[in-house]
Each structure stands twice: as C-alpha cells, then as structure tokens.
Amino acid sequence: MPDFMRAADILVTKAGPGTICEAFIAGLPMILYSRMPGQEDGNVDYVIAKNAGVWAPQPRLVVAVIKNWLDNPAEREKVAATCRRLARPDAARQIARLIAERLDVPAATSL
C-alpha cells in the first residue's frame, strides 16, 4: 500500500485511522467520503482541522474537490505538505519502547 500511496496525488477514502496515518506519511492529501459514526468522527474532525484533507460525503463534492486540486496544484501541494508535517512514521516503535520501559522489558536493539 505505501508504494501505491507514493504513486498517487490524491487519496479518496473512508476515514479509517490506519489509512489516514499512511496518507500522512506519504504526503497524500485526502478526500474523506465516509466514516464509521462515532468511532471515526474524530478522524474526520482532525483531518479537517489540520487542513490535511476535506470531508466530501457526496460524489459531486468528491468530484468538485478533485477538480479544484487538479486546477490548483499549489493548493493541493499545500495540503500535501501539511500531511507530511503531521506524519509520525516512528510512532509504533515509540509506543513499543514506552510500553517496554513501563514493563521493565530489556531494550531490544531492533526497536
């Protein structure tokens, strides 16, 4: 999936947390068209608040955003730069280290 994301210019997706994190790492602006109510509402709010993508729950809105970003590449690039700033590619390793420290697990050199 990371290879596909790096090859893309825009991601149209549901507001799943893993996909959003991967899009940040790939610097891929998002058009969020769906979410799981309750569970993913905060993901939509976060992406919108940080200007890392847009909420477009209707096909005509998705098309309008794509057209806008294709007609205004500087605007799309600004959103892409925001995504790259929000990326935390080492987050899983940092969490594993914190848990290991709390449990007094000897540090592994591969973490």
Q: Is residue 108 part of a domain?
A: no
Q: Is residue 73 part of a domain?
A: yes
Q: Please give the DSSP secondary-structure letter assigned to residue 24.
A: H
CB atoms within 10 A of CB 1: 9
How many angstroms separate the first and last alpha carbons of the chain? 23
How many domains is the chain built from? 1
Q: Is residue 70 part of a domain?
A: yes
Q: pTM for this structure?
A: 0.84
pLDDT, residue 16, reads 96
What is the extent of the structural domain holding 78?
2-102
Q: Is residue 109 part of a domain?
A: no
Q: Is residue 64 part of a domain?
A: yes
Q: Is residue 76 part of a domain?
A: yes
- Tens digit of each residue's pLDDT, the chain (111 residues): 888 998 999 999 999 999 999 999 999 999 999 999 999 999 999 999 999 999 999 999 999 999 999 999 999 999 999 999 999 988 888 998 899 999 988 876 655
Q: Is residue 21 part of a domain?
A: yes
* Of the candidates 38, 2, 3, the residue with the CA atom closest to the CA atom of residue 18: 2
pLDDT, residue 92, reads 85
